A and B are shown apart, each in its own frame.
Chain A
Amino acid sequence: MLDQASPLRPKAGAHDDERVIKLAVLAVGGQGGGVLADWITDVAERNGYVAQSTSVAGVAQRTGATIYYIEMARDTGRLPVFALSPSQGDVDILIAAELMEAGRAIIRGFITPERTTLIASSHRIAAVSEKIEPGDGRASSEKVQATAQAAAKRFIAFDMEKIAADNGTMISASLLGALAGSDALPFTRESYEQAVSAGGRGVKASLAAFGAAYDRARGIAAAAAGDKAAGNPAAPEAKSTAKVSGPEALLKGWQNLAARVAALPEPVRDMAERGLRKVVDYQDIAYGDEYFDRLDKAVALDNAEHGYVLSIAAAKHLANAMCYDDMIRVADLKTRSTRDRRVRKEVGVREGSVLQVTEYFHPRIEEFCGTLPVGLGSYIESRPKLAAFLDRRINRGRHIRTDSFTGFAMLWFIGGLRRWRRRLLRHRIEVEHLERWYELALAHARENHALGTEILNCRRLIKGYSDTHARAQSKFDRVLSALPMLDGREDAADWIRRLREAALKDEKGEMLDGALKTVATLNESTR
C-alpha cells in the first residue's frame, strides 16, 4: 500500500488557485446532513467556486452512519474532474455531526495530522449496541477526543447539538456555523448566511444557531495554541449540600442524623449523607437510624489505610438496598409536586396548555401480596390456586391518569401506605435478603477487605422489576456462588469484580456463565 501519496501536484502552469478542496460530512441518518451539504455547495458557488456534492441516500439514511462528500475548486472556466467519494489521507475538512462519527472518520483514515481540520459535535447519540447492555455500555468519549486531538491538524469540538436545540433548529445549522467560524474555507461569514437565508425554511432559528456556533468555533480557533478542543470538562463532583425543610420535629430528628454523619471518617461522609437522604426520603427518620446502625458495622472494620472503600461501598449500596422499588415507592414518587414540575419542564408545557399524564402499570400477584401485611401476604402466596385466582384479576396493564382525580387519588393512597411499610410482606423479604448479603460481605471483609468491598458492590446487579428483577437476582446469586471456589485466593476480589462486570454485559448472563466456567477451571488448575 502506498501510505503517503504526494499531495496534489498540478502540472506545469497550474496555480495554487486551482487546488481542489475536499470536504466530507459524517452524520447519523436523520441529522440533516443533506441540508448541510446543499448549503456548503451553495456557499462555494456564491464565492466563485465550482462545487460537486454527492451522498449515498436510501436505506443508510435510516439512523445509520452516512457520508456526504463535497469537492470544490475556484472556477477558472474549465470543469475540474472531481471524485465522488472521500479517500483516505485526502480530506481537507471533515465535519462529524456526532462524536463517534469523528472516531469513525479517524478509523477510516480520513483525518491526517498535516492537513485535516476536524470539526465535530461533541454530543453523543448512543448506538443500539451501547444501549442494550444491562450495565453501562457506552463508548468512551474521552478516548475519541484524545485521539482526534492527535490525529487532526486542527480539532474543533463542542456540543453543536445543544446549540441547535437551544435555538430550536437542527444541528446542520450549528455545524455550518462551526465550519464558517473555523475559517477552514476561504469564504466570508456573509456568504454562509446568504446560503442559509436562501434555503427559505426556518431561517431565523438557523441563523441564530449558525451565529452561536460561529462565535464558539472562532473562540476555539483563536485559542488554538493551548487547549485545542473545548470538550466537556468533567464537572467537579457536587457535594451533597441540598437544603432540607419540613416540620420542626422532623428537622430535629434530621439534625441528630446529620450529627451521625459528622461523626463518620471524612471520606465516608459525602456518600453517607446522600445515602441518608435517600433512605429518609424513602421512609422516615427512624429508617435513617437503621441505615446508620448497619453502616457503622462496615466503618468499624475499615480504616484510612484502605481508603475507607468498604464503608463508602456500604454507604452507597445499603441505601440502594434499603430503598427497594415497591408499589408504595413508585406511587409516592409519581404523586409528588416536584415530579409534576419536572414533567412539565421536560415536555415543555407552555402557559395556557394543559398537561395530561398517563402512567403505565402492570401489577402482578407478587406486587399485590408484597403490599399486604406479612401474615395475609404469605397466606395467599402459600396457596397457589388462590394466588392464581387473584392474579387473573390483578395481572393486567393499567393505564392511570395522574392528572385526574381518581387516578391521582389512587396512587396518592398507595403512596400513603408508606407508614405501614415495615409490616408488609415485601419489606420482610427485602430485609432478609439485605441482611444475608450484608453479613456475607462483612464476614469476608474481616479476612479480605477488598473481597468484602466487591461483594458489597455486587448489589449493583439488583435492579429492574418483575422478570427483569428475577433475572437480576439470579445473576447476583450466580456471581456470589463463586465465593466458595475463590476461597482463600489472593485475587478473589478481582474475580468477583470481573464476574460482576460480565454479568452486566448481556441480558441473560451468558458472559457471566462463561466467566464462571473460567473461575471453575482456574481453581482446578491451581489445585
Chain B
Amino acid sequence: MAERSFAKEVEKLRLGAGEEFAGEGILAITKALLQCGVGYVGGYQGAPISHLMDVLADAQDILGELGVHFEASASEATATAMLAASVHYPIRGAATFKSTVGTNVASDALANLASGGVTGGALIIVGEDYGEGSSIMQERSHAFAMKSQVWLLDPRPNLPSIVKAVEDGFELSEESNTPVMLQVRIRCCHVHGHFIAKDNKRPLMSVADALAAPRRDTGRIVLPPASFLHEKEKVAKRWPAAVDFIKSRKINEIFGSDHGSIGIAMQGGMYNSVIRALQRLGLADTYGDTEVSLYVLNAVYPLVDDEFLAFCEGKQAVLVVEEGQPNYIEQAFAAMLHKAGRGTRLVGKEHLPMAGEYTGQVMLDGIGSFLQANAPHLLPGEVRAPNKKGEGVDTADLVNVVPGRPPGFCVGCPERPIFAATKLVEQELGKHHIASDIGCHLFSIMPPFELGATTMGYGLGPASASAFNSPEAKRRSISFVGDGGFWHNGLTSSIGNAVFNKNDGVIVIVDNFYSAATGGQDILSSRASNRTKSTKHPITEAVKGMGVKWLRHIDRTYDVGKMRAALREALTTEEKGPKVIVASSECMLNRQRREKPLVDKAIKGGARVVKPKFGVDEDVCTGDHACMRLSGCPSLSVKSLDDPLRDDPVASIDQNCVGCGNCGEVADAAVLCPSFYRADVVHNPGRWDRFLESARRAVIGLLQRRRESRRLMFADA
C-alpha cells in the first residue's frame, strides 16, 4: 500500500472522448497510455515518477478491464527488459523510472533492447530528477539516448503537450523500430492542468494473445551476426525513419516571428521558462505570443539538420537553451552550421551557466544577456540601462540566522534508533568505516548522527565496503542497505558478494516493510497482504539462502539496547564471514496512515484503546539536549521556560509524538536522564481498569497529601 492513494483520482482515467481531464501530470500520462492502447506497463518507483507507479497500482481494475498487464518491476533493469515483449509482437509497452539513477540501472537491458529494435511501440518514461529538490547525482538522460541510439522526447511542460508526446512516442517507436524515451521533469510530473480526453483503447494484441501464438526471429536477437546488422540498421534505416517522422509530423515547434535576426532554440521542457523570461523582458505576453523567433525541440534526439538550418536562415545569432552538461545539442547544432558553411553565430553556455538548474533568474539573466549582445534594440529602455530601484534588503545577516533544513527521519521513524545504537556503539568501540546506501536511512549522514562515508548506488551499500576486508584489520567495516535496495539488487551484489568473498564486515539491513523513501510501495518482504502481488517473504530467509551464517534479527528496532548489543557482538565476535543484522520495524509514516483511522474509529466506537505519547518533565530536564543528539525527531524539540533561573531551553515533546519509544529507550541505553516519561492513555477503559485506577489514585492521593501537608507549597511549583 503506497503512501498516497489515488483511488479517487484514477476514476478520471475512465473519461471518454471530448471530456475535460483536470489533474496532475502523472495522471495525464497514465490516461494517455490508455488512450494509446498500451498492452503492458511496468516500472520502478522513485521521485518524480513514484506517483505514476502508485497511479498504475491503484488503477489495476481499470487496466484489467482493458486487458492491460501491470508489472511492479523489481528494478529499472527489469522494467526495461520487460519491453522485450514488444520485440516480436506488435504490442505497445511502457516502462517508467527515475532518471538518471534508474537509467543507469536499466542500461544493460536498454542496450540490448535498442540493438534488436522493436515491432510494437516501446516507450520509456523517465522522470528527470534534476535541480532543486533532487536527491541524486546530476547527469543527463540525453547521454543514454545517444549511446544506445534510442530517441528522446522532451515535451513542453503542459498537459496537452505531454499527452501528445505519449501518442507521438508510440508512433515514432513503431515507425523507426526503436524504443523511445519520454523525459518529464520533476515539476512537470506534479503540475496541475487540463486536457481534452479521448476514449481508452484496448491493445490490438494483448500479452495473452502473444503467449497463445509465440513468434521468433533470429534477426532480432543480439548475437553475431545479427548484432552487426543491427548496428548498420540503426543508422541506415531506423535513424532516417525517425528523422522523417519528426519532420513530417512537425514534432518540433516554431513560435514567434519567422523573420528577425535572432532566435532561440530550446529543449521543449525549457519552453515555459524561456517564455517567462521573455515576458519579464517585455517581449512576450501572457499567452506566449512573442516577436522573438523560437525553435522548440519536443524531440531532442535525434536532431533534424535541415529543420534547424532552415530555422537559422537569415539569423545572425541563435541561442541554445540546454540544461545540463555536456551540451550535446549545442555541439551538434554548431557542427551542423559549420558543415553547412553558415555564418549564423551559435551561442549557449556563454550566456547560460554550464551546470545547474535553469531557474527563472538564470533564464532572465541568460536571455537578457544574449539579447543585449545580439539584439539590444528589442529590449525596452529600462532593461538596457536599468535604474537601480530601491536599496533592496541586506540579507547577508539573515544567511547566518536562518538554519538549513535538510530532509530527515520522520516523527517516530524506526530507523532513528538503529543509528542511535550505532552512535552509541561507536562511543564504546571507536569510529568505524561506514558505507551507506540509497533510501531514507541515508539521512544518517546528517546531524545529529553524522554516520556514513559513501553511497554508491541502490543496494550497493555492503558492496561499496567490499574492499575493506583485510586479515590485518583490527576493525570491521559497517554497511547499511535498506529493504528496498536489498531486493532491488542488494541480495546478490551485496550479500552474495560478501558471502562469496568471505567479507568480514558487518551488514545492517534496514527493514521497514516498504520501499519507504519512494512513497511506501510494497516489496517482497512487506508484511501487508497485497491483492495482486506476493508479499511476506522474510529477508532473513533470503539472507540464509545466500549462505550467511552469522545472522541476527531485531524485530523491534526501538529496543536501542538490544540493537546496540547486536552491533557490539557483530563487531567483536570471533566468527568469520559477513555478520548480518536485519533490523525490522514498520515505517512510521505508513503505519500511522494505516492505523490512525482505525484507532480513531475504535475509540469512537467505544473499544478499549491504549494510545502512547512521550513527555518530558521540564523541571528534571537540565537543558543539555543530549537526547536530541541521539534523535533529531521533529517531535522532540526545545522550549524556553518562563524562569529566569534557567538559561538554556529544555526538551519538549509536541502533539505530533506517536509514542514510538525512542526517547525513553535512548535515555535508558545512553544513561541520559530520567526526565522522559511515557503516558499511555487508556481510552474507553473497562470496569477493571477503572476499579484499579480509582484504588490506585486513592492510595497515591493519600501519600501525596501526607507529604504535601508537611511542606511549603509554592503555587507555581
Contact = CB atoms under 8 A, between A and B. Distances in A.
B397 to A, nearest CB: 7
B383 A2 contact: yes
A145 to B, nearest CB: 11
Nearest to B717: A281
A86 B360 contact: yes
Given A84-B272, A109-B361, A140-B401, A465 B671 contact: yes
A416 B704 CA distance: 11
Contact of B622 (A275, A319, A465): A465
Contacts of A64: 405-408
A355 B286 contact: no
A62 B674 contact: no
Interface string B608-623: 0010010101011011
Interface string A219-248: 000000000000000010110001111110
Nearest to A320: B645
B714 A144 contact: no
B667 A81 contact: no
A359 interface: yes
Contacts, number: 432
A90 interface: yes
A343 B187 contact: no
15 contacts: A8-B282, A11-B284, A52-B192, A58-B133, A67-B132, A127-B403, A133-B625, A143-B397, A251-B712, A271-B645, A333-B619, A338-B717, A353-B682, A402-B677, A403-B693
A18 interface: yes
Given A3-B388, A138-B638, A353-B682, 6 more contacts: A5-B280, A57-B190, A84-B273, A130-B403, A132-B625, A472-B624
Interface in A253-286: 254, 270-271, 274-275, 277-278, 280-281, 285
Given A143-B401, A147-B395, A333-B619, A357 B448 contact: no
Contact of A358 (B360, B664, B693): B664
A355 B681 contact: yes
Interface in B628-661: 628-629, 632, 634, 636-638, 642-645, 647-649, 655
Contact of B712 (A30, A250, A354, A360): A250
Given A81-B287, A140-B401, A333-B620, A347 B613 contact: yes
Contacts of B222: none
A9 interface: yes
A123 B386 CA distance: 39
A14 B287 CA distance: 10
Contact of A144 (B402, B411, B707): B402
B679 A357 contact: yes
A7 B280 CA distance: 6
A392 B674 CA distance: 20
Given A61-B407, A113-B390, A346 B615 contact: yes
Interface stretch (A188-196, A405-413, A448-456, A489-497): A405-413
Interface stretch (A99-107, A176-184, A512-520): A99-107
Contact of B714 (A19, A277, A403): A277
Nearest to B289: A11
A80 B287 contact: yes
Interface string A309-336: 0000000100110000100011001111
A204 interface: no
Contacts of A84: 157, 185, 187-188, 191, 272-273
Given A349-B681, A465-B672, A59 B383 contact: no
B549 interface: no
Contacts of A339: 617
Given A125-B637, A143-B398, A106 B668 contact: no
B508 interface: no
Contacts of A127: 403-405
Contacts of A128: 408, 446-448, 628, 632
Nearest to B381: A6
B193 interface: yes
A6 B47 contact: no
Contacts of A114: 389-390
Interface stretch (B36-44, B65-73, B213-221, B695-703): B695-703
Contacts of B275: 81, 83
B250 interface: no
Interface size class of A (residues with CB under 8 A): 35 or more
B413 to A, nearest CB: 9
A369 to B, nearest CB: 15
B365 interface: yes
B342 to A, nearest CB: 30
Contacts of B414: none
Contacts of B613: 347
B360 A90 contact: yes
Contact of B286 (A19, A28, A107, A242): A19
A246 B713 contact: yes
Which of B273, B404, B409, B624: most chain A CB closer than 10 A?
B624
7 nearest A-B pairs in the assembled complex, by CB-CB distance:
A87-B360, A58-B47, A64-B407, A397-B668, A56-B133, A463-B622, A81-B288
B629 A132 contact: yes
B673 A465 contact: yes
B638 A130 contact: yes
B386 A2 contact: yes
B714 A151 contact: no
B48 interface: yes
Contacts of A316: 644-645
B286 A134 contact: no
Nearest to B193: A52
A65 B405 CA distance: 6
B440 interface: yes
B715 interface: yes
Given A88-B361, A128-B408, A281-B714, A9 B273 contact: no
A131 B667 contact: no
Contacts of A57: 47-48, 50-51, 190
B670 interface: yes
A274 B643 contact: yes
A197 interface: no
Interface in B127-161: 129, 132-133, 135, 157-158
B678 A358 contact: yes
Contacts of A467: 670-671
B369 to A, nearest CB: 8
A481 interface: no
B398 A103 contact: yes
Contacts of A113: 390, 392-393
A139 interface: yes
A362 interface: yes
B282 A463 contact: no
A8 B279 contact: yes
B709 interface: yes
B716 interface: yes
A69 B157 CA distance: 15
B517 interface: yes
Which of B403, B696, B717: most chain A CB closer than 10 A?
B403
A150 B402 CA distance: 17
A135 B625 CA distance: 8
Contacts of B392: 3, 113
Contacts of B284: 11, 81
B5 interface: no
A151 B396 CA distance: 13
Contacts of B389: 4, 114
Nearest to B519: A58
A277 B717 CA distance: 9
B280 A8 contact: yes
A11 B398 contact: no
A325 B620 contact: yes
Which of A106, A243, A397: most chain B CB closer than 10 A?
A397
A4 B674 contact: no
Contacts of A325: 620, 622, 673
A73 B288 CA distance: 13
A480 B698 CA distance: 51
